[in-house]
Structure 1
Amino acid sequence: MELNAEVKESDSKVARIQGGLSIRLNAKKSEKIAFALLGLSALTVMGFVLVILGYIIYNGYSVINIEFLTEMPRLMMTQGGIYPAIVGTIYLIIGSMSVALPVGVMAAIYLNEYAGETRTTWLIEMAINNLAGTPSVIFGLFGMALFVKYFGFGPSILSSSLTLSLLIIPVIIRSTEEALIAVPSEYRESSLALGVSKWQTIRHAVLPAAIPGIITGSILSIGRVAGETAPILFTGVAYFLPRLPDSIYSQFMALPYHLFVLATAGTNIAKTRSIQYGTALVLLIVVLSLNLIAVLIRRHYRNKLKI
């Protein structure tokens, strides 16, 4: 009897060991399949990006030269360069980010560090989420009614920059909030334990640690500002303006609207095909260059935090 009991116990141990090995093998197989699917997804995305970039570069590189980048457009944009559109796009990015970045960061600091969980805060968060999902054409109509007509700024760089700043403020608030939440609570507790005020804690301990995340939101915002057409269509962009704006109250040209007009208006589309892709390529270069600067700044702060 004792021998049979020992045999049965031994068999049960073997069965448990085999069952454990089977579970581990199945887990490893599942892990390999998951990693393979994730890798395939990443490669698919990268493939689409490379195809798009390659297509634009292949069709647009032939017109890229000094004259194309520095001359004024001629003959209703069928000849000449796109210099005013490049300058106008840079003005828009600088103007909108100058307004949206400080406002968005300060709003996020208030919501995350001061407001607490109240009904008012919940309503504000809901409003931010709704603004983030609002179509850009709605912002364009609102900007035309508020900045162009009510405040009397007219169709101008100022009106368009303010409208675009409203468009990207929700993105900056969200990214800044996530960056602030990611900062360990020990940073705040250690600073407050030394008798430092809450604002000094936020300024000297929390914000430096959150800067990489804030810059990430800024990168996303720059890309959106540079590529929007509907908001500036209602608030200041010009169809054909072969001169540079002389003030923030002047109309301007911009790369996305320039590309839209070339592709859809009554110009000779076949004749301007290379100019279309050249404009698209320049727009990509401008956005990527600004993003690269932001990435370098983010890397600098990340390395500074590791030291």
Structure 2
Amino acid sequence: MMKGLNKYFEWFVLLLCTAIVLLFLGIIIFDIVVKGSGAFSWDFISTSPKKAMTEGGILPAIIGTVILTLLTALFCIPFGVACAIYLNEYAKENYLTKTIRASIRNLSGIPSIIYGLFGLALFVQGLNLGTSMLSAGLTLGLLSLPYIITTTEEALRRIPNSTREAAMGVGATQFESIKDVVLPSALPGILTGVVLTLSRAAGETAPILFTGVAFFITGKTGNVNQEFMALPYHLYMLSTQHQAIEQVRPLAYGTALVLIMVVFLLSLTAFYIRYKYSKNGK
């Protein structure tokens, strides 16, 4: 009797905590949608800023965010997945591998602004890449690596050893069993972790603050060797640093709404990919 009551109490507490979190999340999103919908329009997302950022749209910031996210993916995904495969499939369980895993998890907890300072020292100054989109993308790639490695390794661990043994039992080498059996089975979890990590990177401000983002750029955008505009930094400047904050407040809420939509689309893509590949796997 007591066990049953304890079980229902635990469920009640979990549901209550979930409801509280969803309530506050809903309030925040509702507030942003209501205040940002007035500025949101096709012109807002398809034109460049005008008159000291008090008019116009945010197209350069959208382009910069998209290209920056692609650069981040290009750098972190191959290295992160390869590192996870080595740690889970090839490396022996010893003190060294345990230390490496602990270091990777510790890197996940480092504040993002520290990555920004490291990117400034390494890419901007050390490698003479200057303040550019390339430096910012490499910095965000370093920030994303620990998450990619951890989520990929967890996805690989969910594949039972019997699957590997069955593949090698019919004559496949270890590499072939990983490439043709293990990776396709773990692909939903890997892709989900990758997309969610990239959606987090797309909303980062501190790492790009030191490595190449700019408040306003005239002319062509999208050159990886030059400074760029990005949605999170654009939102930060409109909300806190603009000389006419009250005038641009609707634009700030509109920018926040667009950024939320970008992150939401990335997250929705992750869930769709996971559902699609899980269904095909079954």
TM-score band, normalised by shorter chain: over 0.9
1:186 has 2:162 as partner: yes
2:99 — aligned with what? 123
User: What is the Cα deviation at residue 246 of structure 1?
Assistant: 4.5
How many pairs are equivalent?
A: 282
2:277 — aligned with what? 301
Q: 2:180 aligns with which of 193, 204, 207?
A: 204
User: What is the Cα deviation at residue 247 of structure 1?
Assistant: 2.2
1:240 — aligned with what? 216
1:91 has 2:56 as partner: no
1:172 — aligned with what? 148
1:78 has 2:62 as partner: no
Aligned residue identity for 2:130: G
TM-superposition CA deviations, 1:222-269 (whole Å, max 9, x none):
222111111101111011113342421021100000011111114211
User: What is the Cα deviation at residue 77 of structure 1?
Assistant: 1.1
Q: TM-score, normalised by structure 2?
A: 0.96
TM-superposition CA deviations, 1:74-117 (whole Å, max 9, x none):
12211111100011011111110111111111100000110111
Aligned structure 1 segments of 4 or more residues deviating by more than 3 angstroms? none
Instruction: Tell me the distance in 2 between the aligned counterparts of 1:130 and 1:29.
Output: 39
> 1:74, 1:242 within 8 Å by CA — same for their partners in 2?
no
Identity %: 44
1:158 has 2:134 as partner: yes
Aligned residue identity for 2:107: L
Instruction: Tell me the distance in 2 between the aligned counterparts of 1:288 and 1:280.
Output: 12
**Pairing 1:278-293 to 2, within 5 Å after superposition:** 278-293=254-269
Instruction: Tell me the distance in 2 between the aligned counterparts of 1:244 and 1:82.
Output: 13
1:12 — aligned with what? none
User: What is the Cα deviation at residue 188 of structure 1?
Assistant: 0.6
Instruction: Tell me the distance in 1 between the aligned counterparts of 2:79 and 2:28.
Output: 34
Aligned residue identity for 1:32: Y
Instruction: Tell me the distance in 1 between the aligned counterparts of 2:273 and 2:203.
Output: 22
> 2:196, 2:270 within 8 Å by CA — same for their partners in 1?
no
Where does structure 2 lack aligned partners over 5 or more consecutive residues? none
> 1:78, 1:267 within 8 Å by CA — same for their partners in 2?
no
Q: TM-score, normalised by structure 1?
A: 0.89
Aligned residue identity for 1:147: F
> 1:84, 1:242 within 8 Å by CA — same for their partners in 2?
no
Where does structure 1 lack aligned partners over 5 or more consecutive residues? 1-24
